[in-house]
Amino acid sequence: MNLLLTAVLFCSAASGAQPAAVRTAELVEADNKFGLGLFQEIASVRPQENVFISPLSIALALQMTAHGAAAATWDAMAGAMNVSGFSRAEIAAGNLKLREELVGADSKVRLDIANSLWLRKGVMLQKQFADDCGKYYRASVTTLDFARPSAVTTINDWCSRNTNGRIKQIVSELKPEEFLVLVNAVYFKGTWTEAFDPKLTAPRAFYLPTHGKKHETAPTAQRRMMNREDRFRYKEDAALQAVVVPYGDERLNMYIFLPRENMGLDALLQATKPDNFAQLFSGFAERKGTVVLPRFKIEFEQSLNKVLGQLGMGIAFTPAADFSGMVVPPATAAISDVLHKTFVEVNEEGTEAAAVTGVKMMATAMPPPEDKFSFVCDHPFLCAIRDDVTGSILFLGAIYDPKQ
């Protein structure tokens, strides 16, 4: 059950925010489709393992990176993220509006979204790219000496601060060819609209996966299960049961999809297509019932390089990548790594979740270092003191003998 539950946590938060701008609503839909595609690819190579990602965090980090892509690289990244029909400006403005909608959406729920750019000392970014990242993604640009161990510590400290200490590290090293790290952090803490009574929490058998299905003969483990009888939004069909457990003022919610015993989670995941993903969140009606939900805490991490390549973004990781909108020619760049880490804890009070996505950029070619010059002022010279705004020369002198 945890796989699909965790997949929809942040999707439901994003899809719950419907700003007035039509393009923003379309961008949310694209992000959710992209997130489900990523999720299914990751789950396919980690069968019957817990998988927990933040589609919102991944989309923001990669769309901020793609803002500096051009030509075939832009086409590949936009295609993989389902945003080929958007201009750069529409994506940037849509993300700004989405952030405004999500942050502070519910006074009883904390949702923080932060972006940052960490630049190797001595490297120049295209001014428009840096300005747009600041304007639309609220991303600070900080120059660091990547050769110093303190650079890694500085980036990781930012991640820890922006996830309330839940994700303390996203980078372990900065390689000599890497010159930029783009980072997104999402932090969520919501209390249930109605808390689960801890007195009703008790150990119960949890059926461990056997080809994704529940069988009476399957191995079981004792897990602490929360229990609440109340009115919930609920639906069921031949494939699943589903319930909505709200946070705060009920704008942000946890959707839980429980496959039928004879179907199993693997089959449900395979049957859930990106194009009909939104349908999972419709058709609920309020009914009285009992919800039994396990407490759980999960930490997850994954390099997304391979899965993004499988989704069509491979060129961005090669020397053929074109990030001319990001770096100043003749420098060229490519993505070296896309790192993703998440945390989630669900208990009687509510849910705490955090995600960090880091995109590391490497130089595929950099401008050759300028030839050093030598200036030895060992004979008579001219000097001037000038106001460069007005052009006024305040002092002017010919020095034949620099007496002391």
Count other Cβ atoms within 10 Å, centred on residue 354.
Answer: 26
Q: Residue with structure tokens 């705004």?
A: 389
Q: How much is the pLDDT for 269?
A: 85
Per-residue model confidence as pLDDT tens digits over 156-202:
999 999 999 999 999 999 999 999 999 999 999 999 999 999 999 99
The mean per-residue pLDDT over the stretch 92-113 comes to 91
Inside any domain, residue 322: yes
69 vs 266, residue with greater confidence: 69
Report the candidate in 300, 303, 294 with the shortest Cα–Cα distance to residue 343. 300
d(C-alpha 264, C-alpha 73), whole Å:
38
Per-residue model confidence as pLDDT tens digits over 308-331:
999 999 999 999 999 999 998 888
DSSP string covering 173-206: ---TTEEEEEEEEEEEEEEBSSPPPGGG-EEEEE
Inside any domain, residue 237: no
Q: How much is the pLDDT for 211?
A: 57
Inside any domain, residue 302: yes
Inside any domain, residue 51: yes
Count other Cβ atoms within 10 Å, centred on residue 81.
Answer: 27
d(C-alpha 307, C-alpha 383), whole Å:
61
Inside any domain, residue 233: no
DSSP string covering 330-370: T-EEEEEEEEEEEEEEE-SSEEEEEEEEEEEEEEEE-PPPP
Instruction: Give the whole-number percent of the chain exceeding pLDDT 70.
Output: 86
The SS3 of residue 372 is coil
Return the CATH number at 170.
3.30.497.10
| Angle made by CA atoms 308, 314, 317, in degrees to the nearest 5 | 100
The SS3 of residue 83 is coil
Inside any domain, residue 246: no
Pairing relationship of beta strands 109-120 and 139-144 according to DSSP bridges: parallel
Instruction: Give the whole-number percent of the chain exceeding pLDDT 90.
Output: 59
Cβ neighbours of residue 266 under 8 Å, at least 6 residues apart? 47, 48, 211, 212, 213
Task: Name the residue range of residue 61's domain.
Answer: 2-192+296-365
Tell me how many domains the chain contains: 1
Q: Per-residue pLDDT for 243 more than 70?
A: yes
Inside any domain, residue 245: no
CB-based contact 129:326 (threshold 8 Å)? yes
Inside any domain, residue 21: yes
The CA–CA distances, whole Å, from 153 to 158, 204, 235, 356 equal 9, 42, 47, 15
